[in-house]
Structure 1
Amino acid sequence: MPQNKKEGLFFTTIVCFSMVISMSAYNLLLHGQFSLSNLFGGLVPGFIVAFIFDVLVVSSPAKKIAFALPVNKEKNIQMIIAVSSCMVLGMVFFMSMYGVIMQFGFTENFLSYYIGSFTKNLIMALPLQLLIVGPICRMILKMSRQSSWLKETNN
């Protein structure tokens, strides 16, 4: 877990980027529209939207909810699972809405499209975050701590 603001920003950025590229590929595949040009064409706007939602909307309430859950806060793995799960729920809620709006706009079928999108995205995003992206990004964070650029200075 991040230990200072630089680490927090770095960790948020790599997790957000990893989830956006993975979930974008997944959704393009689901809709039969996968190509590298489609993937990379939507990557920057998707990342910007996801990063803003993550930092400004989802992170704080997700952490408050996770810390209020009846988990053993002394066990790091339980807190990682709780925080990650709450983050995924919040991000899937907003990013599914973003995806439906970008794909279909606000139509009379918006709610049915949204519910379908939310369900399919949650089924993919939760295990992706808990089993692949989260552990890899925590490993990258741990390795990056060995370099001096993430350490906070008092300058």
Structure 2
Amino acid sequence: MPQNKKEGLFFTTIVCFSMVMTMSAYNLLLHGQFSLSNLFGGLVPGFIVAFLLDVLVVSSPAKKIAFALPVNKEKKIQLIIAVSSCMVLGMVFFMSMYGVVMQFGFTKNFLSYYIGAFATNLIMALPLQLLVVGPVCRMILRKSRQRSWLKEKI
């Protein structure tokens, strides 16, 4: 877990980018629209929206909820699972909305499209975050701590 603001920003960036790229590819595959041009064409705007939502909207409430859950805060793995799960729920809530709006706009079928997208995205995003992206990004963070550029000056 990040220990200072620079580490937090670095960790948020790599997790967000990894999740946006993977979930974008997943959704494009589901809709039969996968191509590298479609993937990379939507990657930058999707990343910007996801990053802003993460930092400005989802992160603080998700962490408050996770820390309020009855988990053993002395056990780092339980805390990581709680925070990651709350973050995924919040991000899937908003990014599914973003995806539906970008693909279909606000139509009379918006709610049904959104519910379908939310369920489909949650099924992929939660295990992806808990089993792949989270562990890999935490490993990258640990290895990056050896670099002086992540250490805050006191």
Fold shared by both chains (TM-score > 0.5): yes
Q: Structure 1 CA distance, aligned partners of 2:52 and 2:153?
A: 26
The percent identity for this pair of structures is 88
**Structure 2: which 5+ residue stretches go unaligned?**
none
Counterpart of 2:88? Answer: 88
Q: Structure 1 CA distance, aligned partners of 2:75 and 2:38?
A: 41
Q: Structure 2 CA distance, aligned partners of 1:16 and 1:48?
A: 9
Counterpart of 2:65? Answer: 65
1:50 aligns with 2:50: yes
Counterpart of 2:112? Answer: 112
SS at match of 1:8: helix
Q: Shift in Å at residue 129 of structure 1?
A: 0.1
Q: Structure 2 CA distance, aligned partners of 1:50 and 1:147?
A: 27
Q: Structure 2 CA distance, aligned partners of 1:147 and 1:5?
A: 15
Q: Structure 2 CA distance, aligned partners of 1:64 and 1:153?
A: 28
Counterpart of 2:126? Answer: 126
Q: Shift in Å at residue 47 of structure 1?
A: 0.1
Q: What are the equivalent positions in structure 2 for 1:128-143 lying under 5 Å apart?
A: 128-143=128-143
Deviations 1:75-134 (A, max 9, x none): 000000000000000000000000000000000000000000000000000000000000
Q: Structure 2 CA distance, aligned partners of 1:81 and 1:139?
A: 16
SS at match of 1:34: coil
Residue identity opposite 1:51 in structure 2? F
Counterpart of 1:101? Answer: 101
Counterpart of 2:6? Answer: 6
Counterpart of 1:79? Answer: 79
1:149 aligns with 2:149: yes
1:17 aligns with 2:43: no
Counterpart of 1:36? Answer: 36
Q: Structure 2 CA distance, aligned partners of 1:147 and 1:102?
A: 39
> TM-score scaled by structure 1?
0.99
> TM-score scaled by structure 2?
1.00
SS at match of 2:90: helix
Q: Structure 2 CA distance, aligned partners of 1:79 and 1:58?
A: 17
Give the root-mean-square deviation of aligned CA atoms.
0.3
